[in-house]
Chains A and B, each alone.
Chain A
Amino acid sequence: MTKTVIKVGMASCGIAAGARPVYEYLQEKLGDREDVEIKQVGCIGLCFREPLVEVEKDGSRIIYGEVDIESLDKIIEQHVLKGTPVKEKAIISDSFEAPENKTLDKQVRIVLRNTGIIDPTKIDEYLEREGYKGLTKALEMAPDAVIDEILESGLRGRGGAGFPTGLKWRFARKAAGDEKYVVCNADEGDPGAFMDRSVLEGDPHSVIEGMLICGYAIGAQHGIIYCRAEYPLAIKHLNIAIEQARERGFLGKNILGSGFDFDIYIKEGAGAFVCGEETALMASIEGKRGMPRPRPPFPANKGIFGKPTNINNVETLANVAWIILHGASEFNKYGTGKSRGTKVFALAGKIVKGGLVEVPMGMPLREVIFDVGGGIPGSKKFKAVQLGGPSGGCLPESELDTPVDYESINATGAIMGSGGMIVMDEDTCIVDVAKFFLSFVQNESCGKCPFCRIGTKRMLEILERICDGKGTPEDLTLLEDLAYKVKDGSLCGLGQTAPNPVLTTLKYFRHEYEAHVNDKKCPAKVCTNLIHYTIDPNTCIGCTKCARVCPVNAIEGQVKQPHKIDDSICVRCGQCKSVCPVKAISVE
């Protein structure tokens, strides 16, 4: 008799959505049955339906979404014990129509090939799915042949800049020195991007294997994973994976009898966005302030502790073993132009199916957002999509036919970045978003270059003026002028790209800036100094709900009498509007 396998999505996001009590309940009810195996797996990407429980029984596979204890009882009773799936809770099924079947159809999973499928704390499950076969194959090849294969695949850095990975490896191989380093950049700091976390939590061995292949190709002995401290579960799973890889002889001396020595340790970051920049990252690994330095010398020649160093990000490395095992031509059949393979995007914001998706490069933005992501919730209108985090830009509806590849996205003024895709609807104020990103980079600027340190501060002040209704038409000119100066006057990627959110919004949404400046209006009704809440006395039924919810007691009125908002006290939090049963409260 084959076992029934039950998998619970237990990445950070799943746990946050309540997966732990679900897992514990399953253990309590079914833990001692020999015909049932209960597993903790990573994130399959359907975050909007979390907590997720997958049941594999009698050769069929069904994923249940938004599982709570009540529905779990039903799933155990009907499906696990009696073999009849609970159709109304199923979101994915290989045997009948289920609402999210199509969400996965358009995806191609190379990076996410194992996340949500295997238990990341068990190396055997990774081995069962071709784990370490890429390494085995690489060790039989000459190091230069490994580099050629990666070059031919067209793999480019997935952390943002898109530099050809094979070329980077070649530079590091050619660099003189007996001692070399491979660094995995797991300092995923872009607000809105979480694919690296998901891979590290759900499939840590794929990253370790990628680092091993890189180490072999460039002739390195040391591997360092620089992981942000905000990802405790990722660090835990990495530690387990490294330990298991050592036990099985994939890490350490004379790996698989090849004579190749390589080991990996983890270095935790301490909270600094700029440390995602490679020279700052190296300074941080050396225990210093994470300040970028000019290049050359490039890390390939003079990296950590002065030794040749190759730095790749998590997603890039997770592709490597697959490419070596399946061949460059299998990889580069996906994609378009100079952008080959797939890209993982983190869909979030005002989108129906928020989560992680992996699609072939070249898919138009519209298809990613509306077909894979399910579009905008409610009957709201799409306004913009923000790509590339604080270094990227906001694109309007008219740019939605842009294919997701490095060159096409760069041409719009945004960047691919690490793959954060935040969707905004008509209720999002674009000037406020620009202000948000500016305040982020302002905070995170290391302070080395005056233009980045002071220029972004001045830009932020201008944006604050505009949002407060005190902006002048000259402010827009000044803002644009400063933006270009900050770009030109900064040493590293942070400063050079910091103005992008402002420049793209000025390019595509100038009318919204002008409404703030000329008409002193915020069209999205977000900027607090430009909006006022009022109660229509003819509609108000005096139910007192608004007065009770108001956090600053700005609403007065007797029961069953029309209420009134004191505008001088009101903090524009909008809670009154959201509780009013008769829609008597409006904002102008």
Chain B
Amino acid sequence: MTCVVNESTAGMQQILEGIIEKYRGKPGSTIGILSAIQEKFGYLPEEAMDYVSQSLNIPSAEIFGVASFYSMFRFKPEGKYVVRLCRGTACHVQGSWLIGEQLQRHLGIEEGGTTEDGLFSLHYVACLGCCSLAPVMMVNGTVHGRLTPDKAVEVLESYRLEGKE
């Protein structure tokens, strides 16, 4: 999943070149390139987008325009555990907003934020498609279903323990 790499500029360039080479000459590759960069760095560093812009001769406004259009792309590093709380219809009628409020209080962050210790990021997402287990949230790749506010906090605490090990 997301691993934050603190590369020197030269190191970053090398990684970016590798990504760009795979897509060079293929039309319509902007989203694919951005996804690959995000997978590598955990987010889209500004320098990386500028580098892609120069290398492929696409205006950086256009690159940023595409990146900012899609909700998947992030411009800040994420926490070690990315919590995606489903705010789909089925989850909503089963009270997912109460879980969201509880998680915000518990972590002391707003939706979209990351805790100071870099452990958790919290996002609300449209629908994870596990409607019959509503309310659900996804922590990194794992879906946790049939939540209550208390149970959601318990789940996060189990990750916190794991994260300290």
Contact, CB under 8 Å: B29 / A287: yes
With A286-B27, A422-B89, A551-B102 already in contact, the answer to whether A270 and B70 are too (CB < 8 A) is yes
Q: How far is the CA of A15 from the CA of B136 in the complex (A)?
A: 13
A116 within 8 A of B: no
**Given A191-B126, A230-B125, A436-B92, is A355 in contact with B132 using a C-beta cutoff of 8 Å?**
yes
Given contacts A12-B143, A190-B127, A229-B72, contact A17 B31 (CB under 8 A): no
Contact A289 B149 (CB under 8 A): no
Distance from B35 Cβ to chain A, minimum over Cβ atoms (Å): 7
Nearest-neighbour CB distance to chain A for B129, whole angstroms, equals 4
Check if A289 sits within 8 Å of B69, measured CB to CB: yes
Whether B145 sits at the interface, judged by CB under 8 Å, is yes
Binds A, one of B5-13, B75-83, B93-101, B156-164: B93-101
> Using a CB-CB cutoff of 8 Å, which residues 108-142 of chain B contact chain A?
125-134, 136, 141-142
Binary per-residue interface labels of chain A (171-194) against chain B in the complex, 1 for a CB within 8 Å, 0 otherwise = 000000000000000001111111
Of chain B, the residue at the smallest CB distance from A350 is B93
User: Interface segment, A332-340, A555-563, A570-578?
Assistant: A570-578
Q: Per a CB cutoff under 8 Å, which of A12, A284, A349, A386 touches B129? A: A12
Bound Cα distance from A16 to B134, whole angstroms: 11
A272 contacts B105, C-beta separation under 8 Å: no
The minimal Cβ–Cβ distance linking B2 to chain A, given in whole angstroms, is 13
B90 and A191: CB pair below 8 A?
yes
Q: Does A382 contact B (CB under 8 A)?
A: no
- Which residues of A sit under 8 angstroms from B89, Cβ to Cβ? 191-192, 348-349, 386, 389, 420, 422, 433, 436-437
Which residue of B127, B132, B143, B149 contacts A47 across the interface (Cβ within 8 Å)? B132
A46 to chain B, nearest CB (A): 9
Asked whether A299 is an interface residue with its Cβ less than 8 Å from the other chain, the reply is no
Q: For B69, what are the chain A residues with a Cβ–Cβ distance below 8 Å?
A: 272, 289-290, 446
A575's partner among B65, B92, B141, B150 (CB-CB below 8 A) is B150
Q: Which residues of chain A have C-beta atoms less than 8 A from B132's C-beta?
A: 13, 47-48, 50, 347-348, 354-355
Shortest distance between the CB of B151 and any CB in chain A (Å): 11
CB closest residue in chain A, given B131: A348
**CA gap between A389 and B90 in the complex, in Å:** 10
Quick one: given A16-B145, A271-B71, are A192 and B101 in contact (CB under 8 Å)?
no
Question: Hey, what's the 0/1 contact readout for A427-452 against B, CB within 8 Å counting as 1?
Answer: 01000010011001000101000000
Q: Does B3 contact A (CB under 8 A)?
A: no
> Which of chain A's residues has its CB closest to B146's CB?
A17
| Given the contacts A270-B72, A272-B70, A189 and B127 also touching, CB distance less than 8 Å | yes
Within 8 A of B (CB), among A270-317: 270-273, 284-290, 305
Cβ of A365 within 8 Å of any chain B Cβ, yes or no, is no
Select the residue from B72, B94, B131, B150 with max chain A CB neighbours within 10 A: B131
Q: Would you call B144 an interface residue if the criterion is a C-beta within 8 Å of the partner chain's C-beta atoms? A: yes
Whether B133 contacts A16 by the Cβ 8 Å rule is yes
CB <8 Å contact, B72 and A573: no
Contacts of B98 in A (CB 8 A): 573-575
* Nearest-neighbor residue (CB-CB) of A285 within chain B: B28
Give, as a whole number of angstroms, the nearest-CB distance from A498 to chain B. 15
Against B, the Cβ 8 Å flags (1 = close, 0 = not) of A370-387 are: 000000000000000010
Q: CB distance B93 to A287 under 8 Å? A: no
User: With contacts A191-B89, A552-B105, A573-B102 known, is A286 near B28, CB below 8 A?
Assistant: yes
Within 8 A of B (CB), among A525-564: 549, 551-552
How many of chain A's residues have a CB under 8 angstroms from any CB in B?
Answer: 60
Number of interface residues of B (CB under 8 A): 45
Is B51 located at the chain interface by the 8 A CB criterion?
A: no
Q: For residue A290, give the distance in angstroms from its CB to the closest CB of chain B.
A: 6
Residue of A nearest to B65 (CB): A289
Q: What per-residue 1/0 map shows which CB atoms of B30-44 lie under 8 Å from chain A?
A: 111011000000000
A-chain residues with CB within 8 Å of residue B65 when the two chains form the complex: 289
A53, CB-defined interface residue at 8 Å? no
Q: Which of B28, B70, B87, B93 contacts A428 (CB 8 A)?
A: B93
* Interchain CB contact under 8 A, A17 and B145: yes
Minimum distance in angstroms from B85 CB to a CB of chain A = 13
How long is the Cα–Cα vector from A289 to B65 in the complex, in angstroms? 7
In the complex formed, the residue of A with least CB distance to B89 is A192
A13-B130, A273-B126, A573-B102 known; A349 vs B94 contact (CB < 8 Å) = yes
* Among candidates A188, A232, A270, residue contacting B35 with C-beta atoms closer than 8 Å: A270
B27 partner residues in chain A, CB cutoff 8 A: 286-287, 305
B155 located at the interface, meaning its Cβ lies under 8 Å from any Cβ of chain A in the complex:
no
Q: What residues of chain A lie closer than 8 Å to B31, measured between beta carbons? A: 268, 270, 284, 287
Interface string of A1-33 (1 = CB under 8 A from B): 000000000001101110000000000000000
Known contacts A349-B94, A551-B105: does B70 contact A271 (CB below 8 Å)? yes
The interface residues of chain B lying within 8 Å CB-to-CB of A420 are 89, 131
A260 at the interface (CB under 8 A from B): no
Q: Which residues of A contact B136 (CB under 8 A)?
A: 16
Chain A residues contacting B106 (CB-CB under 8 Å) are 551
For A13, list chain B residues within 8 Å (CB): 129-130, 132-133
Distance of A137 Cα from B38 Cα, bound (Å): 45
Task: Return A535 CB to nearest CB of chain B, in Å.
Answer: 19
A13 to B34, CA, bound (A): 29
- Chain B residue at minimal CB-CB distance from A351: B132
In the assembled complex, A197 has its CB within 8 A of some CB on chain B:
yes
A551–B108 CA distance with the chains assembled, in angstroms: 12
Residue from B35, B73, B127, B150 in contact with A549 in the complex, judged by beta carbons closer than 8 Å: B150
Provide the bound-state CA to CA distance between A290 and B72, in Å: 13
Q: Does A509 contact B (CB under 8 A)?
A: no
List of A residues within 8 angstroms of B35 by Cβ: 229, 268, 270
| Chain A residues packing against B (C-beta within 8 Å) | 12-13, 15-17, 47-48, 50, 188-194, 197, 229-232, 268-273, 284-290, 305, 346-350, 354-355, 386, 389, 420, 422, 424, 428, 433, 436-437, 440, 444, 446, 549, 551-552, 571, 573-575
6 A-B pairs with C-beta separation under 8 A: A12-B130, A13-B133, A50-B133, A287-B31, A289-B69, A573-B149
Chain B interface residues toward A at CB < 8 A: 27-32, 34-35, 65-66, 69-73, 87-90, 92-94, 98, 101-102, 105-106, 125-134, 136, 141-145, 149-150
With A270-B71, A574-B98 given, name 11 new contacts (CB 8 A).
Answer: A47-B132, A190-B127, A191-B89, A230-B126, A270-B72, A288-B66, A350-B93, A354-B90, A354-B131, A420-B89, A440-B126
Query: Which 4 pairs show the lowest CB-CB distances between chains A and B?
Result: A191-B88, A354-B132, A47-B132, A270-B70
